[in-house]
Amino acid sequence: MLGDHMWLTKNRTLILTLTVFSLLVGNACLPKPASQKGGGVTITVYGFSIMKESLEQAIYPAFAAKVKREHGFDVRFTSSFAGSETVTNQILQGVKAQVAILSIERDAQRLKDGGFVTSDWHQLPQKGIVNKTPFVILVRKGNPKGIHDLADLAKPGVKLIHPDPVSSGGAQWSILAIYGSELVKSEKQSGEPDRARALQLLQAVWHNVISTPGSGREARTQFESGYGDALITYELDALLMKQSNARADAEIIIPEATIFSEHPAVVVDRNVSAADKPVVDAFMQFLWSEDAQRAFVRFHFRSSISDALTQENKELATIKYPFTVDYFHGWDKAYPEVIEGVFRDQVQKGK
């Protein structure tokens, strides 16, 4: 038999490995975020993908500074960003989001139906809509495929990147933009919206889709890394992309008729304690303050409270025939009739 002493010597490698391993892991305790040190209130925000820059770089710091100045305590934010439908599903599964900023009102409604939102966001300023932006087309530099409007995306040989309507709110806006633009234009021409023509266009455009990423931002990243000839996206994301990467191989095309997406912010009441409620409510009100709206405009959103503010950003395009989800009589009708009735049943299944 070997004595314990020899056993130990024989196991120097094991001991060494374990030591390295333990050092690697440090104290093997779950790490504390830097933001949690010290007192104050932390607000948890879940947002759809393109909200990230404006919130993290402008809105959060501005609100934290305001609270510190006026009330003397610290407010911190922690957030996660993904496709609007993904964010909504996460909250329905139980993530502790206190505020959700979503791409489509339908998702706010789903949170309400799930019992997570009990307050009525229509009571908030602008019926809960924090900001808006039109849907535009990104093409390659020099526009080699000759795309000048949404209808041109149906040309044979155009490779289109389009986010997945299952997970992305932007994708649903984009579908409404394609379908609606044809309705609006046919209505201008003949006085009657031509549903058959709009369906035909949507089918032809969808035929050219080569990839369906999970969110608007993911779609942009794919386009940015060189895939596809065109991408339909939020105007602000197109501008942010050009701003962050001056050499980006992309040009923005403004459609003649396009939709303005309107983004609701809601309080997820179930996850807000009575102690946190005043701060969360103050944050919600702050979103519609002139300061916050101006910050959104700086990040290429359009203000939901004032067109004068929007005009401070000279890069924002003028749309000839703009429309909103109201053209389809709101999301209550647009989702079942267009996303499900037209897109899912006639475009996807009919393909």
Partner 1 sequence: MKIRAIRHVRGFDVARPISIGVMLGIMLPLVLLPLLSIFVYGTKKGLGTFWSALVAPEAIFALKLSMVTSFWATVFNVIFGLFAAYVLSRYDFWGRNAVIVTISLPTAIPTAVAGFALLLLWGPNALLGRLLNTQGVQLMFTPYAIILANIFVTFPLAFGVIKPVLDTMSRSMEEASATIGATRWQTFWHVTLPSLRGAIVGGALLTFARAVGEFGSTILVSGNLAERTQTAPLYIFAKFNEGQIEAANAIAIVLALLSFVIFSVLFFARDWLEFDSQDA
Binding site for partner 1 (CB under 8 A): 1-2, 7, 10-11, 13-14, 17, 21, 24-26, 28-31, 33-36, 44, 49, 52, 78-82, 90, 93-96, 214-215, 217-218, 220-221, 224-225, 241, 244-245
Render 205-272 in DSSP notation, one character per residue.
HHHTEEE--SSHHHHHHHHHTT--SEEEEEHHHHHHHHHH-TT-S-EEE--SEEEEEEEEEEE-GGG-
Nearer to partner 1, 75 or 201 (CB): 75
- Provide the minimum distance between the beta carbon of 213 and partner 1 in the complex, in angstroms, as a whole number: 8
- Interhelix angle 235-244/216-224, nearest 10 degrees: 40
Nearer to partner 1, 17 or 189 (CB): 17
* 203: exposed, middle or buried (Cβ count in 10 Å: 0-12, 13-18, 19+): middle
Nearer to partner 1, 44 or 133 (CB): 44
- Provide the minimum distance between the beta carbon of 56 and partner 1 in the complex, in angstroms, as a whole number: 9
- Provide the minimum distance between the beta carbon of 94 and partner 1 in the complex, in angstroms, as a whole number: 5
Nearer to partner 1, 225 or 318 (CB): 225
Structure tokens at 245: 């990467």
Cα–Cα separations (whole angstroms), residue 276 to 5, 206, 310: 59, 45, 32
- Provide the minimum distance between the beta carbon of 144 and partner 1 in the complex, in angstroms, as a whole number: 23
Nearer to partner 1, 62 or 95 (CB): 95
What is the DSSP-derived secondary structure letter of residue 3? -
For residue 78, count other CB atoms closer than 10 A to its CB: 16
Structure tokens at 197: 């023509």
Nearer to partner 1, 27 or 123 (CB): 27
Query: What span, in angstroms and rounded, lies between the C-alpha atoms of 150 and 188?
Result: 16
- Provide the minimum distance between the beta carbon of 190 and partner 1 in the complex, in angstroms, as a whole number: 42
Q: What are phi and psi of 259, to 5 degrees?
A: -90, 150
- Provide the minimum distance between the beta carbon of 4 and partner 1 in the complex, in angstroms, as a whole number: 8
